[in-house]
Structure 1
Amino acid sequence: MRLMIYIPTLSATNTLDSRILTMPHETRSTTNTMSLARATWLILGLSTLVILATNLLSPPLWDEDETRFAAIAQTMLNTGDWIVPTYNQTLAVDKPVLMHWCIAVAFALFGTSEFAARLPAALATIVTALVILRTAARWFDIQTGLLAAIAFISCVLIGIESHAATPDAILVMLTTLTTILVADGLLPSTSNGTLTRMSTPRAIGIGSLCGLAVLCKGPVGYAGPLGVAGVWAMWIACEEHFQRVSSGERQGLFSIARIVAKSAVQSLICIRPIVITLAMLAVAVPWYLAVHVRTFGEWTSGFFLVHNVGRFAAPMENHNGGPFFQSIALLIGFYPWSCFLPLALGTTAWKLWKNTTSRETRAPLGLLMLWIVIWLLTFSLAATKLANYVLPVYPAAALLVAAIGVEASRRERWPHPRWMIAGIVSFGLGGIALATGILVASRLGLSGAEAAALIGVIPIVGAAMCLRAAHKNDPLAAIHCFAVTSLIFLAVLVGPGAWYVGRSNTLPSLISDAHRLAGGRARLASYQENAHSVAFYAGSHVAQPDSPEAIVAFLESGSDAFLVIPENYFDEISQRLPEEIKIVKRVRPIFRKQDSLLIGRARRDPENLEQIGANPGGVIR
């Protein structure tokens, strides 16, 4: 009997520890099973749609990466050049092309908008949640699948990235599919523990997914999931060989090395890396070769040497941190479920070390542990540190926390009660930290966001309710309460909370005013401002003059010419400007200590004359 089977009932035959869990093995009717499956999919579907649809339409693109990727996709759609990624006539070398293609297709279908730009990430998150549900239902049971999917979609960083026009959600989807498909193809049979050799069609499909992941974010889309799967397969093979040999044959370094080498060969044979690699190259190489030829190697050298080797070897763009940066980032980004992640990791490691799990669940648990550790360790060694680098860990973390949580709910008493209480208390403390952080940010440039601090009340109330359930020794009620509170918290955080904070993004209104003042479509230039952000909302090329003389020449070229410039750079050009060219608009960007200024000729209509009269310095606010 193969390990990877569908669980048609809610019995404990495929749970974490059959010696502890004593749920009955009665057979349920097919009708009840189908009703439960439909209810499970309905709950997950509604939860996912509520979170992902909340505030997907209204907030402007306010992250630099979002506007750059959207501008690249906009350029592809306008020019018909789907090979070379450019924005504002500048070659973009930091990411491959898959994300740009997805956004461009969304623009073609739904028009150029924030909703269309963010739609690929939202769809990728939905697919990942469904894959997690299906996988956990096979490896453990349906309750674990539902809880794991909810844990994934209701953690902070996934909620943010699912609403962002960035490639991270797509990479997570592809690496999750790849890792799980490899595991499904290799999982040993329960009778002899031998790895199963992967079929050729499966290997080709996995290689194709790796090719898409390489088109999404580069070599990490191939090396990451296959590195995890390779180490895991070697661990399975080593256990098999060590169990087959006598204790005398295990002694000595030479004997151990021989067993390890034999296990490595067996795992390579089963994974079929040549077939996977060839399929990956068939999908990814055509575009990489085309962009290399079209840009005469400039894109290739910039991406591989600067944004891969360079980022790993040295910090870039001030994104640095200590060796524990990624671990701390995981605890913050996976909140609120990270409150129980250390317990889940410790419990699972102990079970694997003491070999107290059933044969059916030992291999999946080992895979989840290696999945988390390998990704986390790899990017902890990288010099450039960003929290989203370890985003592919989140599906494994959700599966692991759910598996341990469901096991705990089926016991008569709380296992590890002190750790459980500590996790619940940290849930409430996270709400206090969030509220404090928002209040501090409102003093540092996030103006008007004080009311958003009320979001922190949700985890505090949820923690109190979970503590009450724990006091009554009702683990199942505590888990239900935690899951519901997490969904409400994330829905409010990425919904009304993000909308409230998003009001601080003033760039779209600044560009809109420039068009209005021009009496049609303004010609825009930027100086010491992000040209790609201006270009996306302007919908046209944005000039980038590099000297005061060039700025003045641009502004004098017509009444439709306007310049976006930070206030602290205005003195460089103020004495050179003709009398009719003034500051016609000023806004305060988020987390900036100076305003962004719009410089140009104000139209002499009644509305503008009234505004200029109210501001003697000629500034329209």
Structure 2
Amino acid sequence: MYFVPRIEKRPVLALVLLCLALYLPGLFTLPALDRDEARFAQATVQMHESGDYMVPHFQDDLRAKKPVAIYWMQAATSGVASALGLDTASGHPGIWAFRVPSFLAAILLSLATWRIGSAFYGNRAGLIAGALMATSVVLVAEANIAKTDAALAASIALAQLALARIWLARDPRRLDPGIGNALLFWVALAVGVLLKGPIAPMVSGLTVLGLMAASRSISWLALLRPVRGVILLLVLTLPWAVIAWTQTGGAFFGEAVGGDLLPKLAGGQERHGAPAGYYTLLLLLTFFPANMLLLPALARAWTARQSDAVMFCASWIIPNWIIFEAVPTKLPHYILPVYPAFAILVAAVMAAAFDAPDMLRSRLARVNVVVWCVLSLVLAAAVVALPVLLPEGTGMEPGPWPVVGAGIFVALAVRAASYAWRGNPSGMVLALAATGVAFSWALLEFARPRVEPLWVAERVAATLEREGLLGADVASAGFSEPSLVFALGTNTRLGNGTDAALALASGDADVALVEEREADLFETAAMAAGLTLEPVGSVDGLNYSRGDRVRLVIYRRSGG
């Protein structure tokens, strides 16, 4: 196809346009997600409200799960949105403004993957690698969530880009990459530390150890300027750490280590435990659609295991994969920083197929394509069935749009598979990119309107706005998800039925939101306080964080 060489001449434009097509669905329309996204966004809101941009809080509680960089990024983008007059009736911008750092980081991750792939395998393979990384299901998801993981993966990819250039420069026939790459490496690691503590140094550090073992040499490490680099890392990270320690008397780091890091290492924190092998199995889903030729890519990497590219990717993947599989606490996005290495290896096979199309007709490639087709059908069925599979009382008919979205996705997936089966690499690459876009739209735009029961907080806010009560102080009994605080405001009181009634009686709240399991406590306390109540609406839905059906009744004082 003539179209592919034309794309190769403008790789940045091509990747940015692909990322926009992939990540814009859901950015503006998907409500704030429980629990982490809403907590991050609300903590950023409170930074704006308090003027304290050093130590994050969620309501009155110290939020020490992660360092401060993601809050600074979200504060910058949400601050710009507020300055442009884009605040909602809740008093702050919508959740989209807090997602912008993740959105931009996902684009940056795709571009960094392109540059690393180009350094090892040439521009065509690099461009394909960037596109594969961009389309992976896990990155599409993280690009639309206001938390640390997309930004962390981007910072690690930039560090790995600098490391790749330095690794290649160890050959005396190559030029010294200069201090710029060492500077990029250490600055990117510093950003990673401020995003998620030790993860970025761990990923790059294990890669360095793997390369040292593979090359049986450490002399090339001098190109990293390690002494000056460590000093720079400390200069960039210690000032915030000292301020946070001073402001909290060490409590921030005590909670971060004792309340978050160590429990994850000791067991499955917050019911997120999984056995070893979890990430290997999940690669089938989270790396889709880029995993169409993963098996041939791994086989080809084994035969070329002495090459600079494979040694680098293997050192990136293997030790980090072992660590992530060994840690009891597992979530699908934890392994995201390793995925660019897989994308590069798969892209190398796809690029080589342009000159040797028979590679796509090998038995291993065809087995991989068949498995990939089965996964496509499973994902399409999930898009259609999601509204139906909700618990009893909250399920919905799928309606036409999820079916339309799933149908377009399947049609493009079949097209991609047919190109691969017939040995047409250019058609396969373009169809794969289109398949990724189609799945993003099918899930985040076509299916999302059919799962309204999930968006309880958004619907409560809409009900209050219709009644002219949005902005009033609210006491919630029995529903305490962070999305509710983000939607209704920092002063939202969370407790039981008695707490809500007393808050109304004392004037600390103007509105009570009462889940049906708290109704008896609420009514008893309200009667004892002499309150006359007026119901102004109700919301039925699903608390997906707990898997419970909820029915919330909204009350205000009669005459209020």
* TM-score, scaled to structure 1: 0.79
User: Structure 1 residues 189, 280: CA separation in 2 closer, same or farther (over 3 Å shift)?
Assistant: closer
| Distance (whole Å) between structure 2 residues aligned to residue 437 and residue 48 of structure 1 | 23
| Distance (whole Å) between structure 2 residues aligned to residue 516 and residue 560 of structure 1 | 19
Matched with 2:113 is 132
Matched with 1:315 is 268
- 1:464 is aligned to 2:414: yes
**1:500 Cα offset (Å):** 4.2
Matched with 2:19 is 48
| Distance (whole Å) between structure 2 residues aligned to residue 510 and residue 121 of structure 1 | 27
SS at match of 2:240: helix
| Distance (whole Å) between structure 2 residues aligned to residue 512 and residue 503 of structure 1 | 14
In 2, are the aligned partners of 1:73 and 1:104 still within 8 Å (CA)?
yes
- 1:576 is aligned to 2:525: yes
In 1, are the aligned partners of 2:543 and 2:549 still within 8 Å (CA)?
no
* TM-score, scaled to structure 2: 0.87
- 1:554 is aligned to 2:554: no
SS at match of 1:335: coil
In 2, are the aligned partners of 1:83 and 1:287 still within 8 Å (CA)?
yes
Deviates more, 1:91-100 or 1:521-530: 521-530
- 1:218 is aligned to 2:173: no
**1:406 Cα offset (Å):** 1.3
Matched with 2:389 is 443
| Distance (whole Å) between structure 2 residues aligned to residue 203 and residue 575 of structure 1 | 67
| Distance (whole Å) between structure 2 residues aligned to residue 577 and residue 382 of structure 1 | 48
- 1:389 is aligned to 2:327: no
Identity of aligned residues (%): 22
Residues 470-549 of structure 1: pairs in structure 2 closer than 5 A: 470=420, 472-501=422-451, 504-514=454-464, 516-517=466-467, 519=469, 521-530=471-480, 532-545=482-495, 548-549=497-498
118, 130, 137: which is aligned to 1:149? 130
- In structure 1, runs of 5+ residues without a counterpart are 1-9, 11-32, 239-262, 356-361, 606-621
User: Structure 1 residues 541, 298: CA separation in 2 closer, same or farther (over 3 Å shift)?
Assistant: same
User: Structure 1 residues 50, 500: CA separation in 2 closer, same or farther (over 3 Å shift)?
Assistant: farther
User: Structure 1 residues 514, 552: CA separation in 2 closer, same or farther (over 3 Å shift)?
Assistant: same
**1:76 Cα offset (Å):** 0.5
Deviates more, 1:498-507 or 1:129-138: 498-507
**1:189 Cα offset (Å):** 5.4
User: Structure 1 residues 126, 479: CA separation in 2 closer, same or farther (over 3 Å shift)?
Assistant: closer
User: Structure 1 residues 558, 190: CA separation in 2 closer, same or farther (over 3 Å shift)?
Assistant: closer
**1:526 Cα offset (Å):** 2.7
| Distance (whole Å) between structure 2 residues aligned to residue 396 and residue 449 of structure 1 | 41
**1:162 Cα offset (Å):** 0.4
**1:548 Cα offset (Å):** 4.8
Q: CA RMSD in A?
A: 3.0
Residues 72-87 of structure 1: pairs in structure 2 closer than 5 A: 72-87=43-58
597, 605, 613: which is aligned to 2:552? 597
- Deviations along 1:514-557, one digit per CA (max 9) or x if unpaired, are 35546563211233433532221113312234x65433211223
Quick one: which amino acid aligns to residue 595 of structure 1?
Answer: V
Quick one: which amino acid aligns to residue 131 of structure 2?
Answer: I
Matched with 1:235 is 214
Residues 157-556 of structure 1: pairs in structure 2 closer than 5 A: 157-188=138-169, 199-200=178-179, 202-236=181-215, 238=216, 263=217, 265-266=218-219, 268-352=221-305, 355=306, 362-414=307-359, 417-438=362-383, 439=385, 442-445=388-391, 447-448=395-396, 450-451=398-399, 452=402, 455-470=405-420, 472-501=422-451, 504-514=454-464, 516-517=466-467, 519=469, 521-530=471-480, 532-545=482-495, 548-556=497-505
Matched with 2:86 is none
31, 49, 53: which is aligned to 1:60? 31
User: Structure 1 residues 502, 174: CA separation in 2 closer, same or farther (over 3 Å shift)?
Assistant: farther
| Distance (whole Å) between structure 2 residues aligned to residue 456 and residue 72 of structure 1 | 36
- In structure 2, runs of 5+ residues without a counterpart are 83-92
| Distance (whole Å) between structure 2 residues aligned to residue 518 and residue 492 of structure 1 | 35
Count of equivalent residues: 538
| Distance (whole Å) between structure 2 residues aligned to residue 562 and residue 48 of structure 1 | 42
| Distance (whole Å) between structure 1 residues aligned to residue 508 and residue 49 of structure 2 | 26
| Distance (whole Å) between structure 2 residues aligned to residue 461 and residue 49 of structure 1 | 22
Quick one: which amino acid aligns to residue 398 of structure 2?
Answer: E
| Distance (whole Å) between structure 2 residues aligned to residue 512 and residue 132 of structure 1 | 41
User: Structure 1 residues 523, 515: CA separation in 2 closer, same or farther (over 3 Å shift)?
Assistant: farther
| Distance (whole Å) between structure 1 residues aligned to residue 55 and residue 20 of structure 2 | 34
| Distance (whole Å) between structure 1 residues aligned to residue 121 and residue 462 of structure 2 | 53
User: Structure 1 residues 582, 347: CA separation in 2 closer, same or farther (over 3 Å shift)?
Assistant: farther
**1:322 Cα offset (Å):** 0.9
